[in-house]
Structure 1
Amino acid sequence: MSASSLAPSPDRRHDLDWIRIGAFLLLILYHVGLFYVPWDWHVKSSHEVPALEPIMQLTNPWRLTLLFLVSGAATRFLADSLAHDGRVGADRLAGSRILRLLPPLLFAMFVIVPPQSYYELVEALGRLAPQADAYHNAFTADFWVRYATASGNWCDADDCLVTPTWNHMWFVAYLLLYSLLLAGLLALTFGRLRGLGDLLERGLKGWGLLIWPIVFLAIIRWGLVLRFEITHDLVNDWYNHALSFSAFLFGFLTARSGALREGFIRLRWPALILGLVAWAAWAGYAWEYRAEDAMPAEALRRLMRGVYAADQWAFIVAILGFGARHLNRGGPMLHYLTIGVFPFYIVHQTVIVVVGHHLAQLRLPLAAEAGLLIALTVAACFLAYELARRMRWAGLLLGVRPQAANRPPLAA
């Protein structure tokens, strides 16, 4: 048994709490950015800003992989807290995850997310028939009923809008699935799955902590990404599952490893340098071949898949290393935001879509429009959280347990 597994482990990790908060807040800014870059999204500003693309690429490869890793670590602390008489408590873990994640997922799919689909249709209709009254037409009549019953038949020449949908809540759906799979694995192995953490610790000594995960990420990208593009549809999303579930399981298995935590700290500066170099290469490649009909050479595409993997893991190592080194303090702000980022996540994209659509009609200058969009999104997130805190058990619909306000923060 490794020395680190014998050392006492904390019941929570303040650094992971802070990293989780930061990753969710970056995600909000990323979705604001999607309103402005030329990439396809639900609604678009009249101000197109192609220069944002390299900045968006700075977080694009690793932000969600990092969130799955941190969520896996949080699940480890939760599973340990639910163990009884040394037994793993897989049934308790499954029940806790269902109670925590399923109500907000269903609530979001039928209440929070539908406005995103509605305004996506409104803007699509505006492009098809610019003179139409987009808010009073047969295309969107009886919208919610047609949305909820999958009877909208909203199609154009290229694709159809399939409803009900989870849009940004795919992360919660996948997290629930991975948590239930993990609970099943723990039950089948009687908890011995957690012993794999010691094997990972031994295999990732020294520079291996930086190198071997990059090799793994490159292999799954080479092998799966062309056959299975990321779809978020749960069923045909095998590259995304290989990436996200691996990160989730890694976080679960290594959350209590003091040796790996020290390894992240030791490698933080080399990882940051490697991440920045890989980002510059990937962002330059994506910019050079951004046109829809651009066809890079196959050898270059294969090389850039490896660069993408290096970008992914190097930034994650740097963030975990700097976080472990500098983000070890708790306090009321951490407690407040640790609980709050989940309702922030649930409501933020709908606010961006709805507010963004209406701000675009005002034809404001770019700086005023973007500033208002960010400010109103942040205000709506805090308002949703404050309402959820006062809703008792109904607060579960926005991801807030009634007793959470009086509980010390975990990284969950």
Structure 2
Amino acid sequence: MANRPAGRRYDIDALRVFSFGTVIIYHTSLLFGSKGIGQPSDQLGRLMDLIAIGSHPWRMSLLFFISGLVTASLLTKKSVEEIRRSRTRQLLPPFLFGVVMIVPPQIYFANRYANPDLSYWQFLKSYMQSGLTLEHMWFLAYLWIYVFVWSITFSRFERHWGKISSAFVSSLTGAKLFLVPVAFLSALRVFLYPVFGETLVITSDVYAHVMYFSMFMAGVLLCNESRFWQEIDRRRWVSLWLSVISFLAIAILAMTLPRGQWPELLVVAARVVRSIMQWTAILALLAFTGRMVRGPNRIVTYLNKSIMTYYVMHQTIIIIAAYYFAKLGMLNVWSFFPIVIITVVVCFLVAEAKKLVSVYFAAFILKLSVFRKAAPKSPSPEAAG
């Protein structure tokens, strides 16, 4: 197999789009699972839980891993300071816009079931006074923090970075490719998660920060390590089967025995199996995408340029669509696909509208600057005299 780190990683572009796509599917499925607001249709409703069981362990971890890969790949074109500035421009404006403008409607419509007479302006006043919440914007905030921490760390240890990367990839050869990461992730899940949980609150999310920052740094360190990519390709089928078997084990357990009835030892075992699925699914996706995607794809290229808009908008659109489906008495498991389609279409329209606004605004600024340069200057008093 060719050493994939050379050149643009079209496989990573495709996997990035796929991962964000699973976010839309995952958040829609939550409407109809055992804890959702929809009306589950007997076993079909319970089957919706399988989407969460099968994607939640690895989905965001993979996105942070990919973000680390992309960040490290920029070092061939930009300095660390330039990367930090460009990432700040990419992440903080949509984060702030999302928290202030996109999240409030999401919370309002999610709570209209319990408060149908509450107007949006009444809600907004109360919401602003009680404090803003991040909702799904947490990913943008966490990623910016990790980029910032990486930039400081890299600047401090730049001379030794190659040795650090080489030592890290050496710890992931042979069976250690599975044993070391699974042991680490299992320790986090068994010891940290029961204490801290996943709060998605920046200052208290200890478990999530340790896990996601580790995934981000793993992506940074492994970006240009050909040995790692060759190793995961050689062991792609092992990764695939381990991920499938571990998923089936957790799915069967979740479908046959209510979570509250699990003995403590079974909970620990399930967390270890979950960690196996988390890591091996990531390896399998990286390996098989690397084999299947060898060149550019127009759809992937287009979506990569718009993916931030899709991410910022998707969850609010899902919640609003679900509210109106419920109002029509149609919010059941069969509305899953219509809501996914509506979400994608609205995200597409918003992304296109954003592009048009950007083009027209840039043209307006250009014309304004040309007009100012061409405008005759008023004569000075001395010249007039």
1:45 partner amino acid: G
Q: Would you say 1:101 and 2:67 are equivalent positions?
A: no
Question: Which shows bigger deviation, 213-222 or 385-394?
Answer: 385-394
Match of 2:337 in 1: 371
State which of 289, 298, 311 in structure 2 corresponds to 1:345: 311
Match of 1:75 in 2: 71
Does structure 2 conserve the Cα–Cα contact (< 8 Å) formed by 1:45 and 1:357? no
Greater fraction helix: 2
Match of 1:285 in 2: 253
Match of 2:268 in 1: 302
1:95 partner amino acid: R
State which of 13, 18, 24 in structure 1 corresponds to 2:14: 18
SS in 2 for 1:190: helix
**Deviation, structure 1 residue 375:** 1.6
1:276 partner amino acid: V
State which of 179, 186, 193 in structure 1 corresponds to 2:161: 193
Does structure 1 conserve the Cα–Cα contact (< 8 Å) formed by 2:244 and 2:277? yes
Match of 2:54 in 1: 58
Match of 1:215 in 2: 183
Match of 1:153 in 2: none
Measured in 2, the distance between the counterparts of 1:124 and 1:235 equals 30
State which of 280, 300, 309 in structure 2 corresponds to 1:334: 300
Match of 2:354 in 1: 388
Measured in 2, the distance between the counterparts of 1:330 and 1:141 equals 46
Measured in 2, the distance between the counterparts of 1:345 and 1:11 equals 27
SS in 2 for 1:175: helix
**Deviation, structure 1 residue 239:** 1.0
Does structure 2 conserve the Cα–Cα contact (< 8 Å) formed by 1:210 and 1:267? no
User: CA, structure 1 residues 191+379, in 2 after alignment: closer, same or farther (shift >3 Å)?
Assistant: farther
User: CA, structure 1 residues 29+123, in 2 after alignment: closer, same or farther (shift >3 Å)?
Assistant: same
User: CA, structure 1 residues 190+256, in 2 after alignment: closer, same or farther (shift >3 Å)?
Assistant: closer
Question: Which shows bigger deviation, 211-220 or 171-180?
Answer: 211-220
Identity across the alignment (%): 28
Residues 47-196 of structure 1: matches in 2 within 5 Å?
A: 47=40, 49-83=45-79, 90-125=80-115, 134-136=116-118, 141-150=121-130, 163-190=131-158, 192-196=160-164
State which of 318, 329, 351 in structure 1 corresponds to 2:284: 318
Tell me, which stretches of 5 or more residues in structure 2 are unaligned? 362-385
Measured in 2, the distance between the counterparts of 1:385 and 1:10 equals 31
Measured in 2, the distance between the counterparts of 1:199 and 1:280 equals 34
SS in 1 for 2:32: coil
Does structure 2 conserve the Cα–Cα contact (< 8 Å) formed by 1:101 and 1:176? yes
**Deviation, structure 1 residue 235:** 1.4
Q: Would you say 1:257 and 2:225 are equivalent positions?
A: yes
Measured in 2, the distance between the counterparts of 1:61 and 1:368 equals 25
Does structure 1 conserve the Cα–Cα contact (< 8 Å) formed by 2:169 and 2:222? yes
Match of 2:38 in 1: 45
**Deviation, structure 1 residue 394:** 10
User: CA, structure 1 residues 166+258, in 2 after alignment: closer, same or farther (shift >3 Å)?
Assistant: same
Does structure 2 conserve the Cα–Cα contact (< 8 Å) formed by 1:228 and 1:238? yes
User: CA, structure 1 residues 394+212, in 2 after alignment: closer, same or farther (shift >3 Å)?
Assistant: farther
- Show CA shifts across 1:306-362 (max 9, x none): 111101011111111101111122132221111122211110100000011111111
User: CA, structure 1 residues 375+54, in 2 after alignment: closer, same or farther (shift >3 Å)?
Assistant: closer
SS in 1 for 2:105: helix
Does structure 1 conserve the Cα–Cα contact (< 8 Å) formed by 2:34 and 2:40? no
2:49 partner amino acid: E
User: CA, structure 1 residues 61+136, in 2 after alignment: closer, same or farther (shift >3 Å)?
Assistant: closer
SS in 2 for 1:189: helix
Measured in 2, the distance between the counterparts of 1:9 and 1:50 equals 42
1:61 partner amino acid: P
**Deviation, structure 1 residue 23:** 0.7
User: CA, structure 1 residues 165+194, in 2 after alignment: closer, same or farther (shift >3 Å)?
Assistant: farther
Does structure 2 conserve the Cα–Cα contact (< 8 Å) formed by 1:185 and 1:193? no
User: CA, structure 1 residues 191+343, in 2 after alignment: closer, same or farther (shift >3 Å)?
Assistant: farther
Measured in 2, the distance between the counterparts of 1:379 and 1:217 equals 37
Question: Which shows bigger deviation, 211-220 or 224-233?
Answer: 211-220
Does structure 1 conserve the Cα–Cα contact (< 8 Å) formed by 2:30 and 2:49? no
**Deviation, structure 1 residue 97:** 1.3
Measured in 1, the distance between the counterparts of 2:360 and 2:158 equals 35
> Over alpha carbons, which structure has the higher Rg?
2
Measured in 2, the distance between the counterparts of 1:8 and 1:108 equals 35
User: CA, structure 1 residues 283+368, in 2 after alignment: closer, same or farther (shift >3 Å)?
Assistant: closer
User: CA, structure 1 residues 8+371, in 2 after alignment: closer, same or farther (shift >3 Å)?
Assistant: closer
Tell me, which stretches of 5 or more residues in structure 1 are unaligned? 84-89, 126-133, 151-162, 396-412
User: CA, structure 1 residues 191+114, in 2 after alignment: closer, same or farther (shift >3 Å)?
Assistant: farther
Length-normalised TM-score, structure 1: 0.81
Does structure 2 conserve the Cα–Cα contact (< 8 Å) formed by 1:11 and 1:77? no
